[in-house]
Structure 1
Amino acid sequence: MNTTDVPLYQPEWLELREGADAAARDVELLDPLRGWLEDAGRPGGLVIHDLGCGTGSMGRWLAPRLPGPQHWVLYDRDPALLGRAAARTPAVTADGSGVTVLTRRADLGELAAEDLAGASLVTASALLDVLTRDEVDALVAACAEAGCPVLLALSVVGQVELSPADPLDGEIAEAFNAHQRRGGLLGPDAVMVASEAFALRGATVRVHSSPWRLGAGESALTAQWLQGWVEAACEQRPVLAPRAEAYLRDRLAACAAGELRVAVHHSDLLALPGTTGGAS
């Protein structure tokens, strides 16, 4: 990764998925996170580093759910996305305190502990599964040295359910998962690898399910997801293409008719440092 690359995600896709992301994130992880932050007693409020912020959906979801003043540091390699995220960060927190924002155009593959100095919380959404093992290890090491909690939401886990079922579902899913692992990326293995890495550094790790559940009301997102899912599967295994063309056509027709239901499984990971308070 570098800051001159073409953006990984288009803002239209990020906007389309925001509602499903917000509904999927696991709110039960917030209670232990709030407890840790309260015990840590950070004077002056929270400093939250949002890695790969995209259009800022994580901030819009999380800032109103945590109390006290908050300073968000937004990271992305796309300056246009950083601008959108900063402009749409919530103005107030759960108790009406204010929010300030700083943006950093950065390559997350080069993130170091000093970049996170003073952090109260590190967070990201839909990030882990597009990293390699070395990148996850470096991220975990930097967060561990910063001594702060880490909340990593919406990492794919390789499981998809479609209703009604089709005989080709499994082959498409298997090929898509292989595509997610191309070039050394962790894809569906990312949560397990990150959990082990945090645990080795003394953190208490909690992993909760956070599935997208898409029905008739999410047909636009479902259609876009379907096309990308099948396209990636065929890129990985071109032999699927002849059957996948008819499969996709039928699935999109069912989606448009409001007859298709899809569950795309993800996991949310919360890592709490072994020593309350961590680094200051």
Structure 2
Amino acid sequence: MSGFSPDWLALREPADHAARNPQVLAAVGAAFASRQSLTVIDLGCGAGSNLRGTYSVLPARQYWTLVDFDPALLNVARERLTAWADEAEALGEELVLRKGDKSLTVDFRKADLNTDLEWVLGWQPDLVTAAALFDLTSVRWLERFVASLVSQRLPLYTALTYDGRESWEPAHPADAKMLAAFNHHQHSDKGFGPAAGPEATETLAQAFRKSGSAVTVGESPWVLDAGSAALTRELTAGIAAAVAETGHVDVETIASWLAARAKASSGRIGHLDLWARPV
């Protein structure tokens, strides 16, 4: 799976960080509060936003392995983390960062999460994490993923999985039809088979609970306003393009909806965060 624009990832990062569920994030931090160091694998890392959104609640010394299928995004992640850190030093393939009172050593690995999943999880981190990933994967893949985590007693923290909910002000007559068509598109194959889409978090939660793991789920919606105009514009253009691919909504209705969304005063896009750990 690849093809996500670095520009899109940069545009959404502030909304992603603002949306994270604080209770779920705090629970992750509390689980490792007694530790001096921690190893983390970040799946589908993109440009490194998840590290930047998570590091502050984790121990003073952190060892991250960022995994993505797209080598160009791994290079962007390296560049953006270097610029973000208070101090940065390249040591071979690793990047050693200082941010506030945290020391982070970051490695970058190209891997295909279809064929290489068990190999990646076999690195035995203390924590597995991901953001805005699992709605793109299939139910079968998610069940395989949870089984592998459970067998190795690995905890998972995942943020910003799309949950199928969306609302806008002012409303438009086509809102419900557009949302239904978009959610239908979300089930199309994104590289892992038919995608779980908005049901991904519930699929993960059920699989973990069946295994006896403890699970915490919290809402993490994007809340869009006048200051989010650029993000709203790109988001709604993407929604309109996806809906057009389904053929479920006529071109005129899509155009009318898109024009209305350009003038939206506010919007709310639903996501869910999940923290699952062995007991």
TM-score, normalization by structure 2: 0.88
The AA in structure 2 aligned to 1:176 is: F
Question: 2 CA distance for matches of 1:113 and 1:146?
Answer: 10
1:57 maps to which residue?
Answer: 49
Q: CA RMSD in A?
A: 1.7
2:255 maps to which residue?
Answer: 245
The AA in structure 2 aligned to 1:146 is: Q
CA contact (8 A) 1:47 1:121 kept: yes
| 168-177 vs 24-33, greater mean Cα deviation | 24-33
**Residue of structure 2 aligned with 1:17, choices 7, 12, 29:** 12
1:220 maps to which residue?
Answer: 230
2:241 maps to which residue?
Answer: 231
1:186 maps to which residue?
Answer: 196
Question: 1 CA distance for matches of 2:3 and 2:208?
Answer: 26
Shift of 1:93: 5.6
Question: 2 CA distance for matches of 1:62 and 1:196?
Answer: 24
Question: 1 CA distance for matches of 2:277 and 2:232?
Answer: 34
1:1-280 aligned within 5 A:
1=1, 7-38=2-33, 41=35, 45-89=37-81, 90=85, 91-92=97-98, 96-116=101-121, 117-183=123-189, 184-252=194-262, 254-255=263-264, 260-274=265-279
Shift of 1:8: 2.9
Shift of 1:165: 0.6
CA contact (8 A) 1:113 1:145 kept: no
Question: 2 CA distance for matches of 1:135 and 1:219?
Answer: 35
Q: How many residues align?
A: 260
Q: Deviations over 1:198-234 (max 9, x none)?
A: 1122210111000000000010000000111121112
CA contact (8 A) 1:159 1:265 kept: yes
Question: 1 CA distance for matches of 2:110 and 2:136?
Answer: 18
Shift of 1:137: 1.3
Q: Deviations over 1:162-215 (max 9, x none)?
A: 001111000000000000012421101111111111112221011100000000
Question: 1 CA distance for matches of 2:185 and 2:174?
Answer: 17
Shift of 1:52: 0.3
Change over 3 Å in CA distance of 1:111–1:204 after alignment to 2: farther
Shift of 1:114: 4.4
Matched-pair identity in %: 35
Question: 2 CA distance for matches of 1:149 and 1:138?
Answer: 15
The AA in structure 2 aligned to 1:80 is: A
Question: 2 CA distance for matches of 1:199 and 1:111?
Answer: 25
| Greater helix content | 1
TM-score, normalization by structure 1: 0.87
The AA in structure 2 aligned to 1:53 is: C
Paired residue secondary structure (2:160): strand
Change over 3 Å in CA distance of 1:92–1:273 after alignment to 2: farther
